[in-house]
Amino acid sequence: MFKPTPATRKSSTTCSVITIPPPVLPQSTESTSLLESPTVRMISGWKVESKLLGTYSIPLIIANLLQFCLNMSSLLVISSGGRVELGAVSIAIATANITGFVVFQGLSTSLDTLCGQACGSGNTKLARLHVQRMIILLGAVGTPIAMLWFFSAAIVSRIIPDAQVAILAGLYLRVLVLAIPGFVVFEAGKRILTSNGFFLPVTGILCVGACTNAFLSWLLVWRLDLGFIGAPIAVAATWTLVSAYLTLYLHATGNGSIWHFKTSQALGGWTPMLRLALPGLIMVEAEYFAFEVLTIASAQLSTANLAAQTILVTLNSAFWQIPFSISSAGTTAIAQHIGAKSTNSAKASAGVVFVWSLICSAISGTLFFSFRAFWPTIFTDDPEVVDLVLNALPLVAFMHLFDGLAACCNGILRGIGKPAFGGWVNLSCYYLIALPMSIWTAFGLQWGLMGLWVGVTLALAIVTVAEALFLHVTDWQKVVEDAVMMRV
């Protein structure tokens, strides 16, 4: 499709550690004939980047939807049990996400930048080293997270007024501790593939994982009649198997050396990774934790409101995977271009990412509103819960537009190695604007569930505008120079 640069060809033949070839990048627009006008070069660059982004985005959208389904499958399996079970699963999943899965994902976003830039420059050995360092970091962080989940019942019972909901949520989290090692290995290990532009293998592995999870859920929850406890067992077993699938694939393709750690290298040179990982964590965690607070706040309204909030968050998160996947694909493409010192291609890729995210978010919001009578029936037939969801869905549909654009801007910031700005903007908007306004409108103005989404909508709009303006004034040539300085 695209011809690799001479530097890329050389690196793919001289590097013996990782046999995955460096990404096949489009020709830089800087090399375009001088006889062409700037407008012609710009249009040509956008066409090339659109094609590249499509190649990256489509399998990544499927992969992220499958991964989302693995984490959220328990909602569908348990939802028929009633309000208490649905509420318990909601609290457990929200807690697991905010204190564990999102932490791992947020820290791992630094690999999208570091590995993408390393592969763009042809240094796949450095990309492997970044992945090894991340596995060590996530393993260290995962230990206190496992302890928190194991003893979570006592903590949840102090927050959730319904004792039965708290007990079941704590039980779910205790079992889910077994999923941590598999999730850590997969989340970090898959980056050696995605940073090279190979998204289809990850999609295939997650597809097998989704089938595995569906079978285990049927076997444990219904066939063996384990009921509620069968759901977290199925999730934990699935993530263990998914990490095994990834390991086997890497070995089968001659890339098993990624697991061969050299202690002196893996334990040193962490500064560039931490400089990106911590702001990346803040950027992702700020939004998830805000929604966790709102989920807990909905429990103070009633169990029906908690169930409705669970459905709304789940639906929004499912559709959000599309613009998030586009932004992640953009992160990889932009980082590769920066690693290859192709400034114009990186800027063109960022523009394409923004346009695609805008279109997809608008379509998703339209689907939210147009089929609002259908969505809640997927989860429950409780008429009170269904009515609550129906009343709030129009606002959620409007909010979803800004949610997708904010994800797009966050992805571009990660691609250029500037997640710190996004982290501070997200942190400020969610906790100085979103949460105070949502709590006030929900309880002070008595708007109920609808009020919980008002502040979030305003905050996401501000995040989008602030980050878009920052990207507009960014010196992209300096970004390339900074990337060269960060390679260690």
pLDDT in tens, 200-255: 899 999 999 988 988 898 888 888 878 788 889 999 999 999 999 998 988 887 76
Domain membership of residue 13 (yes or no) is: no
pLDDT of 11: 36
Total domains present in the chain:
1
Domain membership of residue 30 (yes or no) is: no
Domain membership of residue 7 (yes or no) is: no
pLDDT of 3: 37
Domain membership of residue 69 (yes or no) is: yes
Provide the domain limits for residue 322.
49-486
Q: Which residues of the chain are modeled with pLDDT < 70? A: 1-45, 71, 79-83, 255-266, 484-488
Domain membership of residue 94 (yes or no) is: yes
Geometric angle at alpha carbon 5, from 60 and 258, rounded to 5° = 50
Domain membership of residue 220 (yes or no) is: yes
Domain membership of residue 1 (yes or no) is: no
443-472 confidence digits (pLDDT tens):
988 898 899 999 999 999 999 999 999 999
